[in-house]
Amino acid sequence: MELSNLTCYNLIEVMQMILKYRDKPAKIAGYEALLKRLPANHEKRRLIIEKLSNAKAGAGGEERIDTILSYFEPDYPFRMIQDLSLPERNQIDTLLIMQDRIIILEIKNLGGELRMRTNPSALGQTLLDGHRRFLKNPVIQVETAKIKLQKVLKAMGIQLPIESIVVMAYPSQFVEDVPSDAKVWIAEEVLVQLYKINIENKILSVEEMHSLGKALLSIDKQYQPFPLALNLNINLQDIENGVYCPRCKLRKMKRLVRKWECYFCDIYSLDAHLDAIDEWFMVCKSTITTQECKAFLELTNIETAKRILRKKGLAEIGGKRNRQYLRKEGF
């Protein structure tokens, strides 16, 4: 039988093991933009610095596991989804679908001494400087994700065992007092552990496994952290206006005829305002009017603001008088 185009397409699709790759978290750029635009003595700075540092550590840990899993080529078929956001704010770092089970990996990248506590449950972290803090217990986190995923599978009419595993991104991140019924792996052992799996009871066919992955992706709804000022309860008046220099990132640029200049770096930019508009959407609001654009970019001419917004290719709503430009989807 000759392969039709459709069959070829299906074959390629079935061969695709990683159904979704992780995007670089947009919130890192958002927190950086927010910090740049907040006064040095602003009360929320400490909180944002902590959030930024957590987001960077999280992304670093996930990247490390993604690299390790890029060598994952077992004898059995599987599908992988990186960063899946299911209903009930169920965010899963890495999901592996196999014919007899689903595995949820919760990736942690935490320094210092780590000790799990039960009753009540927490993860105690003692940093090198002796500072101590208590975080959500990742075992409880991943077990909760499992319960929520079970609900989704039940609604889909699928009965598949789910295993939940916490993965520490670095070997130095040793966790003590892990409950005996919980699984905590170190990044280096992820491949070894996964290769040990023996698929005996094939509940799903390869096609069903693939369809399940696609079905889960169809309800994947990424959490929207923007605009940050609204979500973090920061007054828009506290946000500094202006177009910042793309090189030193510290100083505002001066508008000349159709270009921007940073006196400090002695550089010119034709389009530094485009980044500033992205920052508006990340920090301030999900819409922008011509007036807001003029004020935010510190322009003297409303026509320049109009031209810049049109050139940015944003969707528009409202008539001539109250036109608003919208942030692009998936931004």
Binding footprint of Zn ion on the chain (CB under 5 A): 245, 247-248, 251, 262, 264-265
Residue placing its CB nearer to Zn ion in the complex, 96 or 272: 272
Give the shortest CB-281-to-Zn ion separation in angstroms.
23
Neighbours of 320 (CB within 10 A): 5
Helix (H, G, I), strand (E, B) or coil at 293: helix
Specify the residue, 17 or 265, whose C-beta has the smaller distance to Zn ion.
265
What 3-state DSSP class applies to 5? helix
- For 128, phi and psi rounded to 5 degrees? -55, -35
CA distances from 104 to 39, 73, 96, 238 (A): 41, 18, 7, 41
**Residue closer to Zn ion, measured from CB, 247 or 285:** 247
* Closest separation in Å from C-beta 266 to Zn ion: 8
Nearer to Zn ion, 22 or 251 (CB): 251
| Nearest-approach distance from CB 300 to Zn ion, in angstroms | 21
Q: Is the dihedral of CA 253, 255, 260, 262 positive or negative?
A: negative
Give me the least distance between CB of 111 and Zn ion, in Å please.
33
Evaluate whether 267 touches 259 at the Cβ level (below 8 Å).
no
User: What's the min distance (Å) between Cβ of 20 and Zn ion?
Assistant: 38
Q: Which is nearer to Zn ion, 75 or 266 (CB)?
A: 266
CA distance 143 to 139: 6
Give the residue at shortest CB distance from Zn ion. 245
**Taking the complex as a whole, how short is the minimal distance between the CB of residue 275 and Zn ion, in angstroms?**
13
Tell the smallest beta-carbon distance from residue 100 to Zn ion (Å): 57
φ, ψ of residue 315 in degrees (nearest 5): -70, 150
HSE toward the beta carbon, residue 118, CA cutoff 13 A: 9
Q: Which one-letter amino acid corresponds to residue 136? A: K
Structure tokens at 45: 């700075």
DSSP state of 266: T
Nearer to Zn ion, 208 or 261 (CB): 261
Nearer to Zn ion, 153 or 267 (CB): 267
Closer Cβ to Zn ion, 9 or 268, answer by number: 268
| Residue labelled with tokens 């209903």 | 87
Beta carbon of residue 257, minimum distance to Zn ion (angstroms, whole number): 19
Q: DSSP string of 117-178?
A: ETTTTEEEEE-TTS-EEEE--HHHHHHHHHHHHHHHHHHTT----EEEEEEESSTT-PEES-
